[in-house]
Amino acid sequence: MIVVTGGAGFIGSNLVAALNARGRDDLLVVDDLTDGRKFRNLASARIADYVDVEDFERMIDRRDAALDGLDAVLHQGACADTTERDGRRMMRMNHESSKRVAGLCARLRAPLLYASSASVYGVGARFVEEPSAERPVNVYGWSKLLFDQWVRRALSEAQTQLVGLRYFNVYGPHEAHKGAMASVALHLHEQLRATGRVRLFEGTDGYAHGEQRRDFVHVADVCAVALWFLDHPERSGVFNVGTGASRSFLDVARAVIGFHGHGEVDFVPFPETLRGAYQSFTEADLTRLRAAGYQGSFRPVEVGVPEYLATLTDRPAAR
């Protein structure tokens, strides 16, 4: 059995689909369906069972025998709202819960692959998995970094695989429920369909209008990395997961407009509330990922964005 926490969410449900494509349906999905819309992400999935996150934590605490056949945990469950200011809630969901899951994996000697985040780098200019580059600017990023640090300390004595995957700007199917936290590709797509125009921020931090840059990575490529580590249990550590190449928001806008065949770009004032706490540039350093042995390729936005939008419309991506 493989447990996928956050399995009804964006990346979690894509991991479920990727495992199904491999013929695995012995999957226990763990999530919080307070937002019942997320069930749609699993509507076509083949799973063994679903358990609410609070019930799952009770199963861990009582050492429920139902978990004894555990092969691995893909731990994607978290509070992923980067604007959340309730630090107690954030730490309970992202740090304490993760330690509980890690304890389960240690007891059963089952691999743990968990979701970290590029938010640990804050507004710095270096995106390498080293403490000197890690300067989060919100409690979400700090909660992710704290668990990464906990894992680093545990690695020397771990008797099973521990892998943290620092996701950069992930986009792709099954993210609609995320609302404001959804990808820029989805937001621009919805803006264009509603008004025929897309909106980007005016210049900030030395970047021209719309030229702020992020490492945009398709969720299918993220899943490919995760499953590669699942296939290589001898590899452990904390690794960046991005394309390794930053692209501008204008590049994404052009990909959206190109897919639809029409549209114009408007530039809106940069919000004062985001100054000093906004990543105007991210770019994954993939040195450690490549050194671990992963040689898979990553879709550029010109390929990944149209491929994604084709899943949202009846218009196929151009070939």
Q: Where in the chain is the domain with CATH 3.90.25.10?
A: 172-215+245-310
pLDDT averages per 10-residue partition of the chain, 319 residues: 98 98 98 95 98 97 96 94 88 95 97 97 95 95 97 96 98 94 96 97 94 98 98 98 98 98 96 86 98 98 98 74
State the Cα–Cα distance between residues 4 and 254, nearest whole angstrom: 35
Q: Which of 50, 114, 121, 140 is catalytic?
A: 140
Q: Which of 99, 178, 207, 294 is catalytic?
A: 178
State the Cα–Cα distance between residues 22 and 102, nearest whole angstrom: 25
Specify the pTM.
0.95
Contacts of 203 (CB under 8 A, 6+ apart): 209, 210, 211, 212, 270
Helix pair 97-108, 139-155: axis angle to 10 deg: 20
Locate all alpha helices (DSSP H) within 139-213, ordered by sequence: 139-155, 184-195
Q: Which of 156, 184, 314, 171 is nearest to 242 (CA)?
A: 171
Helix, strand, coil content of the chain in percent (nearest 5) = 45, 15, 40
3-state secondary structure of 148: helix
CB contact at 8 A, 224 and 296: yes
Q: Where in the chain is the domain with CATH 3.40.50.720?
A: 2-169+217-241
The answer to whether residue 140 is catalytic is yes
Q: Which of 228, 184, 235, 183 is nearest to 210 (CA)?
A: 184
Homologous superfamily (CATH) of 172-215+245-310 is UDP-galactose 4-epimerase, domain 1 (3.90.25.10)
Q: Which of 156, 157, 131 is nearest to 145 (CA)?
A: 131
CB contact at 8 A, 248 and 256: no
The structure tokens 């030395």 sit at 206
Please give the structure tokens belonging to residue 202.
Answer: 């005016």
CB contact at 8 A, 256 and 250: no
3-state secondary structure of 74: strand
Please tell me the predicted confidence (pLDDT) of residue 315. Answer: 66
Contacts of 225 (CB under 8 A, 6+ apart): 165, 239, 241, 289, 294, 296
Please give the structure tokens belonging to residue 31.
Answer: 């999530």
What is the CATH topology of the domain spanning 2-169+217-241? Rossmann fold (3.40.50)
Helices (H) and strands (E) in the chain, counts: 10, 13
CB contact at 8 A, 2 and 27: yes
- Rounded to the nearest 5°, which phi and psi values hold at 268? -115, 155
The answer to whether residue 167 is catalytic is no
